């Protein structure tokens, strides 16, 4: 009998505790914000989506090497004489660019937002932003392309480099051929001079 009434007491007391908490919350000020119209103030040191300022990027690949999850992929092409990278060929700090960055992708599906890629950058072109809303329906859409060159322009830069290297190889081959020809002519002249000397010595004898 005692256990029966004890169970009834525990049931009622439990309900009363729960109702008291509910009633207290009814009179408290709401802490819910009307997102996205209202937004919370983010801390100063938040680590959200990365951004790359391609005007200052020199394609050094330091950020990709520092990334612990290999979410950064960079493709570069060497600049040929007479061509410039971007508008001026230099960064905002005046550093000369020697590489075209044909592709600079960051896969945010892999990124762990550790910020380790930011610190090695010599031009400070990669940094964390306060942007955190970039959900997508497809995982492939989380791979962001930051390069300011289109795929067609990238192929054009690669072709320019290939043509330049072919021309340089042709010039080297011609220079080597001319050098070999001159060496052969010099050797023939020396042999001719030695033959003439031997002939003169024979006549004197």
Beta carbons within 8 Å of 127's beta carbon, 6+ residues apart: 50, 51, 118
- Read off the pLDDT of each residue in 106-133 and give the average, rounded to a whole number: 93
Cα separation, 195 vs 202, whole angstroms:
11
Q: Could you tell me the domains of the chain?
A: 50-152 (3.30.70.3270)
pLDDT tens-digit profile of 37-85? 888 888 888 889 999 999 999 999 999 999 999 999 999 999 998 888 8
pTM: 0.69
Q: What is residue 36's predicted lDDT score, i.e. its pLDDT? A: 80
Q: Which of 10-24, 29-43, 51-65, 189-203 has the highest mean pLDDT?
A: 51-65
Token pair belonging to 84 = 């410039």
Range 166-184 average pLDDT:
87
Within the chain, strands assigned E span 50-52, 72-78, 99-107, 126-128, 143-145
Task: Indicate if the pLDDT at residue 203 is higher than 70.
Answer: no
- Grouping H, G, I as helix, E, B as strand and the rest as coil, residue 155 is helix
What does the pLDDT read at residue 63? 95
Residues 2-11 pLDDT 10s = 888 888 888 8
Query: What confidence tier does 121 reach under pLDDT thresholds 50, 70, 90?
Result: very high
């Amino acid at each position: 009998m005692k256990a029966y009434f004890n169970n009834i007491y525990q049931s009622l007391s439990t309900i009363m505790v729960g109702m008291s908490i509910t009633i207290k919350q009814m009179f408290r000020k709401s802490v819910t914000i009307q997102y996205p119209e209202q937004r919370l103030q983010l801390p100063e040191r938040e680590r959200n989506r990365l951004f790359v300022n391609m005007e200052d990027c020199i394609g050094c690949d330091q950020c990709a090497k520092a990334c612990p999850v290999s979410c950064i992929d960079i493709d570069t092409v060497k600049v040929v004489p007479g061509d410039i990278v971007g508008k001026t060929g230099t960064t905002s700090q005046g550093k000369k660019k020697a590489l075209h960055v044909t592709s600079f992708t960051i896969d945010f599906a892999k990124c762990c937002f550790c910020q380790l890629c930011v610190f090695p950058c010599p031009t400070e072109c990669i940094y964390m932003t306060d942007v955190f809303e970039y959900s997508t329906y497809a995982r492939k859409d989380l791979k962001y392309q930051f390069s300011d060159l289109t795929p067609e322009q990238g192929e054009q830069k690669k072709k320019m480099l290939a043509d330049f290297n072919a021309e340089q190889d042709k010039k080297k081959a011609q220079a080597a051929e001319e050098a070999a020809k001159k060496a052969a002519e010099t050797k023939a002249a020396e042999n001719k001079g030695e033959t003439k000397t031997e002939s003169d010595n024979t006549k004197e004898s």
